Amino acid sequence: MYYDEENDYFTRRTTGRYTDLNIINSFNLFLLAVAFFKSKQEFAYRRHCHPVYEIIIPTAGEYKCLLNGKELSVMPGELLLVQEGDWHQDFFHAGTEFTAISFAVNNPEKTDYLNPANANVKQKLFKNDIATVNQKTAFLRDNESDTLLELLETKNANQSDSRNYYILDGVFHAFFWKVIALFPEEQLSQIFVKDMNNEAAKHLLLKIFEKNIHGKLDVPRIAAGMGMSRSQLTSKCKDIIGESPARAFIRYKLKRAKTYLKDSQFSIKQISEIMGFEDQFHFSKTFKRFYGCSPAEYRKKE
């Protein structure tokens, strides 16, 4: 995740530049609602089919339900993840308390994440053919669940302030990936696993690009850094970025060069040197091949 730099002037440890990511994770999460529930007496909630995902976190008493026809019991310190399309019925006792976090998952194949019935494709996070996955109880350390609930509740916040949504959404995203990490990979859907693996590979690739952005980088060195053969690297790059590793590296350098052209007083010659091109002519020729105009023309437009 981090890379280190050291020279005569400074040392620095930093992450890759996330703003340089060209492809956003195709599984976009949408926090829909956070509900804090407390039962006053025993009753059974109506049986219903979930249109979205829901994470249920008991905070007091035993939480019981029927999930896809199977009886479940979840205690404080545990959680239950219910998938869209699951049939669910809650059974409450007086004093039962839990937090329910509803969210949707949108991917490019899905047309309407708020109404899965109208979607062209329904893609689950977990394999459809493993019924026990839906009933899996994932264990959390008490301090993790307590911190989550403390942040989610925001009792002292101005509830009319729309900025609170972004606070909740950020907390939820962090918590979601903690939950996903609790499940064995074989229980996740193949598309979801592929997406996560591609994101990890893309992050490593861009980290290598960033570390070498001011110099030269050939395909064998990229492949070695990725722990792949040249053919594997070429295939993976086309899968996650859509072009060859050499071309992707040049595009990465040029994207940074555009920033220098727009926001700095460096001359075009200086920028070509900073970005590790052979000379100004090579830089200008490459820039025009990618963007259809010379660096000088781009700078004038900006």
- Stretch 89-95: mean pLDDT, rounded? 89
Task: Write down the pTM of the prediction.
Answer: 0.61
Delimit the domains of the chain by residue range: 2-23+194-301, 28-185
CATH superfamily of 28-185: Jelly Rolls (2.60.120.10)
pLDDT at 140: 53
For residues 104-124, average pLDDT: 50
| The CATH number fitting domain 2-23+194-301, selected from 3.40.630.30, 1.10.10.60, 1.20.1090.10, 2.40.100.10 | 1.10.10.60
pLDDT, tens digit (0-9, with 9 covering 90-100), for 229-244: 999 999 999 888 889 9
Please indicate whether residue 48 or residue 34 has the higher confidence score (pLDDT).
Answer: 48
Task: Write the pLDDT tens digit of every residue in 24-33.
Answer: 445 677 888 8
| Predicted confidence (pLDDT) at residue 270 exceeds the cutoff of 80 | yes
pLDDT score at 26: 52
Counting other chains too, the contacts that 104-109 makes at CB distance below 8 Å and 24 or more residues apart are 104/29, 104/30, 104/32, 104/52, 104/53, 105/27, 105/28, 105/29, 105/30, 105/53, 106/27, 106/28, 106/29, 106/30, 107/26, 107/27, 107/28, 107/191, 108/26
